[in-house]
Amino acid sequence: MWLVVGLGNPGTEYSRTRHNVGFMVVQTLARELGVQVRKKKYRSKIAMAQISGEKVILALPQTYMNMSGLAVKDLLNGFKLLPANMVVIYDDLDLNFGEIRIRPQGSAGTHKGMKSIVQEINTTVFPRVRVGIGPKAEAQGAADFVLSEFSAEEMSALKPVIEKASRAVQMIVNGDIQKAMNEFNRKKV
């Protein structure tokens, strides 16, 4: 069994913001798998699905970004899963818009949602899919940038990126993380 977590902030006021790319990927994956992520459990909205016969829990933490680790810890404990069987999808302002980077493990970097997860579960050994939303304007603060909404043009350009990130998650669940890295890392979509 796998846990697929998209990071973001709950509420319609955040639904089109850059910080909610993780939510967007999980919601796209849910549509592709024919489920809706809406059952409330472990401080998250979840759905049960299958990818190539493998059971998958799709999750959208409802704790707000900076406390994502609380929900992730509850999910892992509640479903009795190891972090190595979890994929986390999130935005990255250090990657150019449209770039995807997949890693089997690594640091949290400057992302506060990831810092919260690492702090709560005490490991960095879990796959992650980062979706580029940068660069931000020199004078703009990081918090303002990630909480700003995508323009209509950006949302249109983001759609194929989100679809590719969804495919990357499916490859990871299928045991093909190396293939996903080779196919998607740093390639502008």
Question: How many whole angstroms separate alpha carbon 66 and alpha carbon 160?
Answer: 27
Q: Tell me the torsion sign for CA atoms 14, 120, 110, 102.
A: negative
Which active-site residues does the annotation give? 19
**Distance, CA of 33 to CA of 56 (rounded, Å):** 10
For residue 122, CA distances in Å to 11, 85, 108, 114, 165 come to 28, 15, 11, 11, 26
Question: What distance in Å separates the CA atoms of residue 142 and residue 126, rounded to the nearest whole number?
Answer: 25
